[in-house]
Amino acid sequence: MCGIVGYWDNHGANTAVAEQMALRIQHRGPDGAGTWLNETGDLAMAHRRLAIIDLSPAGQQPMTSPCGRFTLVFNGEIYNHPDLRANLESEGGHFDWRGHSDTETLLAALRHWGVEKTLRRLNGMFAFALWDAQEKALILARDRLGEKPLYYGKNGSCFLFGSELKSFKIHPNWQPEIDRDALSLYMRHNAIPCPWSIYKGIKKLPPAHFVVIRDAGREISEPRCYWDLSTIAEQGVANADQNNTVETLSDELDLLLRDAVKIRMAADVPLGAFLSGGYDSTIIAALMQAQSSNPIKTFTIGFNEQGYNEAVHASAVAKHLGTEHTELYVTPEEAMAVIPRLPTIWDEPFSDSSQIPTLLVSELARKHVTVSLSGDGGDELFYGYSRYTQGDRIWSTLQRIPQPARQILGDLLRIFPGTPVEYLLGFLPKRFQIPHLADRLPKLGDVLKERSAISYYQNLVSHWKKPDQLVLGSTEPTTLFGNPAQLPDLSGFREQMMFIDTMSYLPDDILTKVDRASMAVSLEARVPLLDHRVVEFAWKTPMSMKYRDGNGKWLLREVLYRYVPRELMERPKMGFGVPIEHWLQGPLRDWAESLLDEKHLREEGFFDPVPIRKMWEEHVSGKRRWHYYLWDVLMFQAWLRENR
């Protein structure tokens, strides 16, 4: 795991600038550094190394092929690199191997098979830049699911690329301009979706794509896809064998997951796993322990606040599996102490508040290991989110109501006095009470008025519903939600929700959160459930095997129960979050008030302060719960102050 950076300028480049740019992302690679300048002196690339495989100097980067044509900087891990070496040698190529690093294997493969054929053979997480001296072309590529980040774009006369935006700020000619359209997307999604970034002219390379750059960025190709999830999902759903038995599919998934975990346990440094006690992290820990002769290391953080603590469950799982378990209970003060660091770590506005515990558990793990396996991805692949079940149920009900009647009912619910009704219900027995009725009725009113399943789901997962009215001077760009024709031909709404999340929420939020949190402390996080073979298997699995008896991730659970007793796992799903709602009303109130000051909001000129101030006053008074909306604003404001 590493950090990469580079720039291409027809006026000339130098390694000193590239070295300083790379130093800004030293946390991604504290074990070594290297720079390289091309033969014409206009392209500089730099690398920061976190040594995982082949700790010797033979794994150092930038790495140039023996023929001198290709030079590579690479961030990530290629898990099947031993097989690729064997394949390369069996095809008769001459390879004078200098070491056993996956970087050297990747470079040899790119030289032997070419870019696109190599990308299709890789099993890994990666972002890389490859210079082809013969073609005078720079190729940038990113892994299938977007586990590793890669930014690129023109800024003035210079073309920049790198793992994190913060390195760009070191370049002497950096001229940033905030993209208000991207900001409106952030206010809806609490993260800036690919391909946008917070800065004009700078993009994120989409997952499963590569791009070719020539002439210092004057010629940038359209990103080319080498693994099309749309086709995989469409063909998988169409060809799913509805007659397959539970035993057959469980056996196949068990073997797939075992291998996905096994190849991610290869490391020349200490390794462990995050363990929350939920289904996904537990199955990863269980499969690690089943394939290890020694107790594996597992890590959990806990909170004393009721409703936010999974440490007790994780401890019980760890005891059953026999892992070497480390847990740390975090006080609210310790958790809140992380907040000032968030704008620097996440580099562009990002407001998924679970970034706080993710960073804390990464810090805990890094004290003991250099690599940690994570259970992310199970919800998107195996129908795990409660919003899938609830969303499908509500949409099915709404379709029975004529659209005109839904419009009228929606308007009524928007103005219905939920607060006094909620107060009166408080005098009734608990089973008759409806918590947060004042929040829920307007939200229900909004979704009642939606005309399509896709627009309904967008409303369901959005924070600010009309962000371009909040962000001054913005026009919200069209994403996958606004292009239903780009969606694959799937069998139903449930599959559409999973596909949209895998294409957007997973890489833009979940994987961004995990990458930045882990790399901030020089920890490599690996995600076995996102092995592309598991993803392809999941799309071939019938929905009846994913959702059954009111439970999502049904098949995944069946595999897990081979390793962990059912009674140890069956409990309500918990999110991995912190009580932001209460913190904003208490210990964070002064901090938030300073960032939401109406005078400052007006002077900065990004937001209309009126709706923000109204939400803030309602939240602190307890009249309404607006913490998700307010956290979006607060994280942008904190980022803005840090990056002026």
Mean pLDDT per 10-residue run, the chain (644 residues)?
93 97 97 96 97 82 95 97 95 82 96 97 98 98 98 95 97 96 98 98 98 97 98 95 92 98 94 96 98 97 77 94 95 92 96 95 97 97 95 90 81 63 52 58 75 92 95 96 89 95 98 98 98 98 95 96 93 72 93 96 97 96 92 98 88
551 contacts: CB under 8 Å, gap ≥ 6: 557
Distance, in Å, from the CA atom of 395 to the CA atom of 430, rounded to the nearest integer, reads 28
Contact (CB, 8 A) for 365 and 272: yes
- Taking the model in full, what pTM does it have? 0.94
pLDDT of residue 167: 97
Sign, CA dihedral 592-598-599-601, equals positive
pLDDT of residue 623: 86
pLDDT of residue 545: 96
Q: Which candidate, 236, 289, 305, 247, places its Cα nearest to that of 539?
A: 236
| β-bridge mates for residue 447, sequence order | none
Distance, in Å, from the CA atom of 109 to the CA atom of 113, rounded to the nearest integer, reads 6
Distance, in Å, from the CA atom of 134 to the CA atom of 121, rounded to the nearest integer, reads 24
Distance, in Å, from the CA atom of 546 to the CA atom of 244, rounded to the nearest integer, reads 13
Structure tokens at 175: 């001229």
Contact (CB, 8 A) for 337 and 312: no
3-state secondary structure of 402: coil
Distance, in Å, from the CA atom of 112 to the CA atom of 110, rounded to the nearest integer, reads 6
DSSP string for 88-133: HHHTT---------HHHHHHHHHHHH-HHHHHHH--EEEEEEEEET
The number of CA neighbours under 13 Å toward the Cβ of 93 is: 19
CA 561 to chain centre: 28
What count of other Cβ atoms lies within 10 Å of the Cβ of residue 312? 11
CA 505 to chain centre: 7
Query: Residues 2, 67, 194, 225: which is the catalytic one?
Result: 2
Distance, in Å, from the CA atom of 253 to the CA atom of 259, rounded to the nearest integer, reads 10
Contact (CB, 8 A) for 457 and 346: no
Q: Determine whether 158 is an active site residue.
A: no
Contact (CB, 8 A) for 3 and 163: yes
Contact (CB, 8 A) for 365 and 523: yes
589 contacts: CB under 8 Å, gap ≥ 6: 620
pLDDT of residue 419: 54
Q: Give residue 471's region: left, alpha or beta (phi > 0; psi -120 to 50).
A: beta
Q: What is the DSSP letter of 429?
A: -
Structure tokens at 21: 């740019």
Structural domains of the chain in order of their starting residue, each with its CATH number: 2-227 (3.60.20.10), 230-383+501-569 (3.40.50.620), 386-497 (no CATH), 580-643 (no CATH)
Rounded to 10°, the helix 279-290/311-321 angle is 20
pLDDT of residue 421: 47
Structure tokens at 596: 């939401």
pLDDT of residue 436: 56
279 contacts: CB under 8 Å, gap ≥ 6: 375, 378, 384, 553, 556, 557, 560, 569
pLDDT of residue 303: 85
pLDDT of residue 361: 97
Q: Which candidate, 250, 220, 26, places its Cα nearest to that of 139?
A: 220
